[in-house]
């Protein structure tokens, strides 16, 4: 049974940093890409970042490029999202998710490429 548990959210001021973690179990973590998404009330869930199953390729939304870094620790079955220079528009519920496909040849970025979403961790950034 796939389980994804996010942690690390919180309330911070603009310009601060947070590091989110997603602990995974129930599947061969090293063979799947992982992604981070976020959602605010009344809006669709949006892509934030993803890391290829091999860990050697990453993709980012334009809005977070240069500020956020995703990384994958296959030994620890954990995917991280380091968020720097946070802005009020980063306020959202952040989810991690597992790729639907094992060893996908490219780094997925679409909602439909992922499954098994976690319960989310909330990030609030005040001006």
pLDDT beyond 90 at 117? no
CA distance 80 to 83: 10
- pLDDT at position 40 is 96
Asked if the model's pLDDT at residue 111 lies above 90, the reply is yes
Average pLDDT over residues 31-38: 98
Pairing status of strand 92-102 against strand 32-39:
antiparallel
Query: What DSSP string runs through 73-106?
Result: ETTTTEEEEEE-S--GGG-EEEEEEEEEEET-SS
CB 68 within 8 A of CB 17: no
At 106 the pLDDT is 96
Average pLDDT taken over every residue of the chain: 97
H or E element that contains 3: strand 3-7
Whole-number Å distance between alpha carbons of 18 and 100: 27
- Give 45-86 pLDDT, tens digit per residue: 999 999 999 999 999 999 999 999 999 998 999 999 999 999
Per-residue pLDDT for 118 more than 90?
A: no
């Amino acid at each position: 049974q796939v389980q994804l548990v996010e942690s690390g959210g919180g309330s911070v001021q603009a310009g601060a940093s947070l590091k989110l973690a997603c602990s995974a179990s129930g599947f061969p973590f090293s063979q799947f890409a992982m992604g981070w998404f976020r959602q605010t009330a009344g809006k669709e869930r949006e892509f934030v970042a993803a890391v290829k199953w091999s860990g050697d390729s990453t993709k980012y939304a334009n809005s977070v490029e240069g500020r956020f870094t995703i990384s994958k620790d296959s030994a620890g079955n954990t995917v991280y999202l380091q968020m720097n220079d946070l802005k009020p528009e980063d306020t959202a519920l952040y989810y991690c998710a597992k790729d639907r496909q094992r060893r996908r040849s490219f780094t997925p970025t679409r909602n439909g490429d992922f499954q098994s979403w976690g319960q989310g961790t909330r990030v609030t950034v005040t001006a």
